[in-house]
Amino acid sequence: MNALTTRYDVTEKNPRLFSIEVDTRDAWREAIDFVTTHTAFVTLSQITCADWIEEEVFRLTYLFTDRARSQNLMVQLPIRRDGEGLPSLSNRFPQAEVMERDLHEMYGIPFEGNDTLYPFVLEGWTDLPPLRREFDTLAYVHAHYDFQQGREDNKDVKVEQKRRREEAKRLKAEQEEASHDGE
């Protein structure tokens, strides 16, 4: 841990979770090398991607766990959303292969050097990769599937309340008018 803090700016998220941020691919490569050789964080346990569409980046998180399984370290790196790839880690961590395959399918990130990037969970998928923010799942559903009929009489309650209020007002006014006429 000490070796890490002297070299990187480590953010402590909680006593057992730390994160370091890198900017470039080279720095990322270096950080992964450093973390796995000079610190106790030897297990790659997860690769995550979060889509920050406003900033035009994917934020990739490589989660490392130490030998005692008591602390976690996140190595975070932003990459461009327009098809920028990263070198695959599958040579060094066999488990990275399937994680990269998953991310490739869900976000369309090409991992260079991973030759298993064929379809993983989707079959015959031709649309956008589904976890990208611009993919609208509800629009896709309405275009491809039908729902059960018989629910068209659903009312918008706000509209209904307003209509009834106005109706009541009108009735009241009519009644008053009628009573005036009576006089």
Partner 1 sequence: MQQGLKQIEGLRQEGFVPYHTSLTEEVTAQQRTLESETEGLANTQTLIEKAIHWFQAHSMFVVAYGTGCGAIEMPPVFTSRYDIERLGVVGVATPRQADILIVSGYASLKTLRRIIRTYEQMSEPKYVIALGSCTINGGMYWDSYNTIKKLEDYLGVDMYVAGCMPRPEALIEGFVKLQAAIRDQTLEPGYVRYRDDYAWYRRNQEKVLGKNIAPQYEENYAGMELS
Partner 2 sequence: MTFTPIDLRGIVAPFAAIGKALEHPRTVCYPAQTKTVAPDYRGFHTNDLSACIGCANCQDVCMNDAIDMVTIAQERNTRNKSGCIPRIDYGRCCWCNLCVDVCPPDSLGLGQECIHVAERSDTFLFFPKDAS
Partner 3 sequence: MMESKQIKIFHGPQHPGITGNMSVELDLIGETIQRARTHVGYLHRGFEKLVERRTVLQAFTIVCRICVPEPDPNEENFARAVEGLAGITISERAQYIRVMVQEMSRLAAQLLWMGGQSGSIGLGTVGQWSLYDRDLILDLFEQLTGGRVYHMYTFPGGVRRDLPAGFLLRLSELLDYLDKQLPRYDKIFFDNATFRTRAIGTGVIDSDTALERGYVGQALRGCGIERDLRRDNPYLVYDRLAFDIPTFDGGDVYSRALVRREEMRQSIRILRQVIAQMPEEGLVMQKLPKHRKFTLPKDDIYVATESARGEFGYYMAGDGSAHIRRMQVKGPSLIHGFTLLEPLLEGEELSNVALIMNSLGICPPEIER
Query: Look-up: residue for tokens 């989660």?
Result: 63
38 makes contact with partner 2 (CB under 8 A): no
160 makes contact with partner 1 (CB under 8 A): no
169 binds, among partner 2, partner 1, partner 3, none (CB under 5 to 8 A by kind): none
What single-letter DSSP state applies at residue 124? S
Interface with partner 1 (CB under 8 A), residue from 122, 168, 171, 173: 122
Q: How many residues does the chain have?
A: 183
- The bridge status of strand 41-52 relative to strand 57-66 is antiparallel
Query: Shortest Cβ distance from residue 147 to partner 2 (Å)?
Result: 9
Tokens of 150: 């018989």
55 makes contact with partner 2 (CB under 8 A): no
User: How far is 17 from 22, CA to CA, in rounded Å?
Assistant: 17
Q: Which stretch binds partner 3 (CB under 8 A): 78-86, 91-99, 155-163, 169-177?
A: 91-99
Tell me the site size for partner 3, rule CB under 8 A. Answer: 45
137 makes contact with partner 1 (CB under 8 A): yes
Query: Look-up: residue for tokens 């309340």?
Result: 161
Q: State the Cα angle at 62 between 60 and 68, rounded to 5°.
A: 160
Binding site for partner 2 (CB under 8 A): 148-151, 153-158, 160-161, 164-165
